[in-house]
Amino acid sequence: METFLDNVAATAQKISSPLQVNALENEAIYIFREVVAQFERPVLLFSGGKDSITLVRLAQKAFWPAKIPFPLMHIDTGHNFPETLEFRDQLVQELGVELIIRKVQDSIDEGKVVEETGKYASRNSLQTTTLLDAIEEFRFDACIGGARRDEEKARAKERIFSVRDDFGQWDEKNQRPELFDMLNGKIEHGQNVRVFPISNWTELDVWSYIQQEGIEIPSIYFAHQRDTFIRDGLIWSAQDDVVFRADNEKVQERTVRFRTIGDMSCTAAVESQADSIDKVVAEIRDSRISERGARIDDKRSEAAMEKRKQQGYF
């Protein structure tokens, strides 16, 4: 039978050894496929960080040889690391998928949110309004995100399909039970579901996957020279147009890398010499500090994440 199969074989690599089972990868692919089957307008929330980059690879795997069947959306705070934005644009071009960008600056200009002031000013929590507006604008019914349960205590309680009401709010005490791997995506008009395909991955799982798959990530995840200053025992980027810095907070060049990437104003760097993925994985494996230990946004209070989530944050 001389059919299309000959074409497929020409591009698909034929493997004679049996397919290995990577439980976490298979679970994530399964979740992606459920999203596309159960929702009309899904979107992948793309921050340019390692978790959302991992999501993109998993989505590629889930739908190959078809293209990723939904757009990516970036909520741009205006305080992003330039390296992340560069990376984002390149990736989108390679994949040939649609990228939607919505800017926190626009929400500020429209008077919907007010910029924080003072020493710890950040646009991190302002993102929520921009995100909810964008969900409404595009009538997205499923927003796929890279949150993981091991990141933070409130996230440990999160479902894989997490229903949000018309206001984007998370009702943490009244969540649908999720049994076996059956995902119930039924929602009312106006509601949306946040989907977390890598819920069960740990930070080390993500890094090991990036290593094993040879996935490209933004350069700031690797050790580099950066102008920094110290506040509250954390290493901040000296980027005076974005990050407040007092006169007595002295700038010094350090060899650092980022373990997690949010905004410049809410992500602290760590001192590191790890300039390759192998060294980064080794460093994470031996680390005595948790990933979100370098997230300034979580230091606001013990329940910072839970409160932000109730309001519609990721």
Partner 1 sequence: MEVLKIATAGSVDDGKSTLIGRLLYDTNSLTDDKIDAIRNNSEKKGYDYLDFSLATDGLIAEREQGITIDVAHIYFSTAKKSYIIADTPGHLEYTRNMVTGASTSQAAIILIDARKGVIEQTYRHFFINNLLRIKDVIVAVNKMDLVGYDQSVFEDIKRNFQALNNSSSYAEQSVTYVPVSALNGDNVVERSTHMPWYEGSSLLEHLEGLQSVDVQEKAEFRFSVQTVIRPKKDEYHDFRGFAGKIKGGDLTVGDEVTVLPSFTTSKVESIYFYDQSFESATSGTSVTLTLEDEINVARGDMLVKTNELPMVQKEVTATVCWMDKKQLVPGTRYIVQHNTNQVLSKISEIGEVFATDFSGHTKSSGTLGLNEIGEVKIKLSKPIFVDSYESNKSNGAFILIDERTNTTAGVGFVK
* Contacts to partner 1 by CB under 8 A: 1, 3-5, 7-9, 11-16, 18-19, 21, 23-27, 29-30, 33-34, 36-37, 60-67, 149-150, 152-157, 172-173, 175-182, 184, 186-188, 199-200, 202, 204-205, 287-290, 293, 302-303, 306
Q: Which two tokens stand for residue 70?
A: 């939904």
Which residues, listed in sequence order, are joined to residue 195 by a DSSP beta bridge?
144, 161
Residue 15 or 114: which CB sits closer to partner 1?
Answer: 15
Q: What are phi and psi of 142, to 5 degrees?
A: -140, 125
Strand ranges, E, within 142-262: 142-144, 161-164, 192-195, 224-231, 234-237, 252-257
Q: Which is nearer to partner 1, 31 or 73 (CB)?
A: 31
Minimal distance in Å, beta carbon 157 to partner 1? 5
Task: Write down the least CB distance from residue 75 to partner 1, Å.
Answer: 25
C-beta of 3 vs 248, nearer to partner 1: 3
In this complex, which beta carbon is closest to partner 1, that of residue 99 or of residue 187?
A: 187
Rounded least distance, CB 172 to partner 1, Å: 6
Tokens of 154: 């409130």
Task: Compute CA distances 74 → 46, 135, 308, whole Å.
Answer: 5, 12, 18
Six-digit token pair at 216?
A: 């490209």
Omega before 65 within 30 of 0, i.e. cis: yes
- Minimum CB separation from partner 1 for residue 149, in Å? 5
Q: Name the residue nearer to partner 1 (CB basis): 3 or 117.
A: 3
Sequence length of the chain is 314
Contacts of 22 (CB under 8 A, 6+ apart): none
Nearer to partner 1, 67 or 250 (CB): 67
Taking the complex as a whole, how short is the minimal distance between the CB of residue 251 and partner 1, in angstroms? Answer: 26
In the complex, the smallest distance separating the C-beta of residue 80 from partner 1, rounded to whole angstroms, is 26
In whole angstroms, the minimum distance from the beta carbon of 136 to partner 1 comes to: 20
Give the nearer residue to partner 1 in terms of CB position, either 4 or 246: 4
CA dihedral angle for residue 128, residue 133, residue 138, residue 140, rounded to 10 degrees:
40
The closest alpha carbon to 266, from 308, 224, 225, belongs to 308
- The β-bridge relationship of strands 270-271 and 99-103 is unpaired
